[in-house]
Amino acid sequence: MDFMSNAFIKTAANYSVVVLCLVVFLAVFELVTRYKNWVEIKKGNLSVAMATGGKIFGIANIFRYSIAQNDSILMMITWSAYGFILLLIGYFIFEFLTPKFQIDKEIENDNRAVGFISMIISIGLSFVIGEGIE
């Protein structure tokens, strides 16, 4: 019997890999934003919480699609990393398409409308990205 054919083992392995990758991917997002996510969230900045929550949901959703489409952990990680890169590109496109104001600055200043749109963009793109995963 193959070790990974056990549903409990496979679920635990997928869970462990996703949590580890989520931490790494959020650290990358932290590097590309002008604010410190967890410092702002601790201060009660709802805009940062919404934007970060959207990123967490988006990354987890991409992993959901990747787990459903791939039998090996390596391919799941590969497709999820690719999906994360596309999500990151979407973040930069959002910043580029709003030249009248700076997205990061507005979110840091707790502009909830911008935080909400940022969350919805991350969630929405994750469904589009996920559907393309093979």
> Residue 125: exposed, middle, or buried by beta-carbon count in 10 A (0-12, 13-18, 19+)?
buried
Rounded distance between C-alpha atoms, residue 107 and residue 70, angstroms? 36
**pLDDT for res 71:** 86
Listed in sequence order, the DSSP H helices in 33-111 are 37-42, 46-69, 73-96, 103-108
Comparing 11-20, 34-43, 96-105, 120-129, the range with the smallest average pLDDT is 96-105
Task: Give per-residue pLDDT as tens, 30-56.
Answer: 999 999 999 999 999 999 999 999 999
pTM, two decimal places: 0.92
Task: Give per-residue pLDDT as tens, 74-115.
Answer: 999 999 999 999 999 999 999 888 888 899 999 999 999 999
Q: Residue 24's pLDDT band (boundaries 50, 70, 90)?
A: very high
Average pLDDT over residues 55-77: 96
Q: Residue 1's pLDDT band (boundaries 50, 70, 90)?
A: low
pLDDT value at 2 more than 80: no
Query: Domain coordinates of the chain in residue numbers?
Result: 7-132
DSSP state of 70: -
**pLDDT for res 4:** 72
Q: Which of 61, 78, 60 is CA-nearest to residue 23? A: 60
Do the Cβ atoms of 119 and 50 come closer than 8 Å?
yes
Enter the tokens of residue 97. 């398409």
